[in-house]
Amino acid sequence: MTTASARLWRSATMPAVVVPDAIGSELAADARARLERAGYSRYGRIDRASYDHVDDPPLPELVEALLGIAEAVTGRAGKLSAVRAIRLEPGDYLLTRHDRVLDDRPLELVLDLSASPVDRAEVHFRHRGQVFFTMTSQPGALAIVERGPTVM
């Protein structure tokens, strides 16, 4: 799994890759239950985004495992700056134009904790305004994307 993803990472012009089946369905179910117990808050600024979130979710073992996968794929040691669990329901969205501009090329990890694939659910990453990478709903999959000043 990570070997093929690492090859894709190294060959990509814009470093971004999906690691399929990064976590199993049991671990994903446990993470969903722990997030529910932690309690979601609603972010709803119509000009920016509409979604539920848990800041600093109580999932330290999962986060460490994901950092390990990211390091195996990219060859870069992970440095954690923030962890946020976002739950998107039908009609929810996040607008790119309000995303933070990052200039130190950090890695962004996106883990799909869905119980089953969600039709038309996608996360788009843009370089200079153009979509260069799309993560479609794949339960258990992990997207690893190198961010920078031109990537949102």
Considering 43-52, 67-76, 85-94, the range whose residues carry the highest mean pLDDT is 67-76
Q: Are 87 and 40 in contact (CB under 8 A)?
A: yes
Instruction: Check residue 98 and give its pLDDT.
Output: 57
pLDDT of 90 strictly over 90: no
Q: Environment class of residue 58 by beta-carbon count within 10 Å: exposed (0-12), middle (13-18) or buried (19+)? A: middle
pLDDT of 31 strictly over 90: yes
The share of the chain scoring above pLDDT 70, in percent, equals 93
